[in-house]
Amino acid sequence: MNKPSSQINSKSFEQTVKHEVDMALALSAQEFAWSRFLQHKLLSSPHEDPSYSSKILETSSCKQDGKEGAEIKKKLKELQKLVPGGEEMNMEEILSEVGSYIVCLELQMIVLKSLVQDNIS
Amino acid sequence: MLEGLVSPENLSLSSMDMNVLERLKWLQQQQQQVVSRTSDNSPELLQILQFHGSNNDELLQSTFSHFQMLGSGFGPNPNMGFGPSHEAMDGCISRTSSFQMDPVDTMGVMLKNSEENRTISSKNKRKSEVKRREEEKTEKTIKVEAETESNMKGKSSMSNTEASSDTSKETSKGASEIHKLDYIHVRSRRGQATDRHSLAERARREKISKKMKYLQDIVPGCKKVTGQAGMLDEIINYVQSLQTQIEFLSMKLAFLNPELELSVEDLYVKQLQDYFTNLPVVIASKPSIMVDVPLFPLDQQGSLDLSVINLSQTTSTEAPSASWETQSRSLYNTSSLGFHY
């Protein structure tokens, strides 16, 4: 997203809010690798999108044959893309990190929901 | 607030160590109840645990610190500081075992030798022989479980498991032994290879399956799916949905606020100017709100400048300032972002 140099538009404001939200997420659970990664990423390039992506995952509607190892690897790669810092983790690390990441995401959702509620009312 | 909210979560998910630790603490306090609540696997364990030894092996110093709470009659181990409560140990072992791994595995895990007690027990324990074993094993179980727990976080290195000299005997009976520090304790069953690589592989797989189990509890709807691939699918979808929801919510938040806030768009300029004529009043009446203004890159109009907006911030806000914690905390601590009238 290109932020105009001379003008702040709502888009960059959204980015800012998003940035802040992500930073809060990262700060809320600092003992995890994904949190540190997210923090670094946010601090270094403040107005880039973090590792979120809205694309829908194409689930394994493809082959379901005996090549389960390869399939699992493919899924793990997807997971790596989702979890911040996932590219540098191997399988075991990802599995341990993703649990904490999920819980923190849920927590963040609760907070955001309540914030939105407060703003609406 | 966010940190405070998260801390209980962290307790539960920071590591399985903590789960075990909490449980063990609880067990120490309520020994009797623990005994009554032990799982079905406990009878054998109980018998084993009757004979707590004075094994002073120290497999993992770091994880042992977690288990210093355990008062389970392990004798005078200076690092561990166990007290004499066998029942607590029983309960804790059985509970931890039921939590962590299959009973069979637990049994295998328990069948560890200490260097001191080689005379008493051979290195190769079999499930049937467990009952006859004395002392050593129990201590190893805790250490091993601690080890496996810490391993789940990937802390300790993935070291090889060593079969002892009676490997053939072990294989036939189905127990493998590890008796060195930092080793993964793996149980091999009858007919399975006990060479280094396959043991390591098996230990790795067990760790992974443990983690998958944990994820299954977290991700809703995962329990119905079988197989790792399906579960991974579910997990991926869940993470994605969470992320998109959060994105949506944050955009919604951003959308809601600029109407009250000072968004510097051409469309809103007039609004803004009107706003700023009233601003001194606002400042005077609600100074606290200024502090809670979110990070807001407004450096276009002079009147919007730092004196008004960034009272709480030291830097002009093109990029987030260093005081992230306070800012994000303030963001989440305020029920009303910005200026509400």
User: Is B327 in contact with A20 (Cβ distance < 8 A)?
Assistant: yes
Q: What is the band of A39 on the pLDDT scale with cuts at 50, 70, 90?
A: confident
CB distance A59 to B238 below 8 Å? no
Identify the pLDDT of residue B234.
84
State yes or no: pLDDT of A63 exceeds 50.
no
Chain B: residue nearest A45 by CA?
B319
ipTM score assigned to the predicted complex: 0.74
Candidate from B5, B215, B250 with C-beta closest to A112: B250
**Nearest-neighbour CA in chain A from B264: distance (Å):** 6
**Region of residue B314 (left: phi > 0; alpha: psi -120 to 50; beta: else):** alpha
Write the CA distances from B52 to B49, B109, B248, B331, integer angstroms. 6, 16, 57, 54
State yes or no: pLDDT of A101 exceeds 70.
yes
What pLDDT digit, counting tens, does each position of A70-79 carry? 887 888 888 8
Of B76, B74, B77, B80, nearest to B61 (Cα)?
A: B80
Q: Which of B1, B5, B13 is the best substitution to test chain A (most A C-beta atoms within 10 A)?
A: B13
pTM: 0.42
pLDDT in tens, chain B (341 residues): 444 444 444 444 444 555 555 655 665 666 555 445 544 444 444 444 444 433 444 433 443 444 443 333 334 444 443 344 444 444 444 444 444 444 444 444 444 444 444 444 444 444 444 444 444 444 444 444 444 444 444 443 444 444 444 444 444 444 444 445 566 666 666 777 778 889 999 998 898 888 888 888 888 787 777 777 888 888 888 889 999 998 888 888 887 776 544 444 445 555 656 666 666 655 555 444 444 444 444 444 444 333 333 333 433 343 444 444 444 455 444 434 444 44
Chain A: residue nearest B14 by CA?
A100
Identify the pLDDT of residue B212.
85
What pLDDT digit, counting tens, does each position of B133-165 carry? 444 444 444 444 444 444 444 443 444 444 444
Q: How many CB atoms lie within 10 A of CB A60?
A: 16
Average pLDDT over residues A56-77: 60
The CATH architecture annotation of domain B197-275 reads Irregular (4.10)
Which residues, at least 6 apart from B54, have a Cβ–Cβ distance to it below 8 Å? B74, B75, B76, B77, B135
Identify the pLDDT of residue A42.
73
Q: Which of A15, A21, A54 is the best substitution to test chain B (most B C-beta atoms within 10 A)?
A: A21
User: Is B154 in contact with A116 (Cβ distance < 8 A)?
Assistant: no
Which residues on chain B are in Cβ contact (under 8 Å) with A106?
242
Identify the pLDDT of residue B244.
92
Identify the pLDDT of residue B241.
92
CB distance A7 to B269 below 8 Å? no
Candidate from A8, A54, A98 with C-beta closest to B239: A98
Tell me the domain boundaries of chain B: 197-275
What pLDDT digit, counting tens, does each position of B87-133 carry? 444 444 444 444 444 444 444 444 444 444 444 444 444 444 444 44
Chain A: residue nearest B334 by CA?
A115
Identify the pLDDT of residue B274.
67
Which residues on chain B are in Cβ contact (under 8 Å) with A107?
2, 5-6, 9
State yes or no: pLDDT of A111 exceeds 60.
yes
Which residues on chain B are in Cβ contact (under 8 Å) with A18?
247, 250-251, 254
Concatenated DSSP letters of A40-94 = HHHHHSTTS--S---PPP--S-S--SS-HHHHHHHHHHHHHHHSTTGGG--HHHH
Candidate from B9, B154, B240 with C-beta closest to A103: B9
Which residues on chain B are in Cβ contact (under 8 Å) with A99?
13, 211, 214-215, 218
Which residues on chain B are in Cβ contact (under 8 Å) with A8?
263-265, 297-300
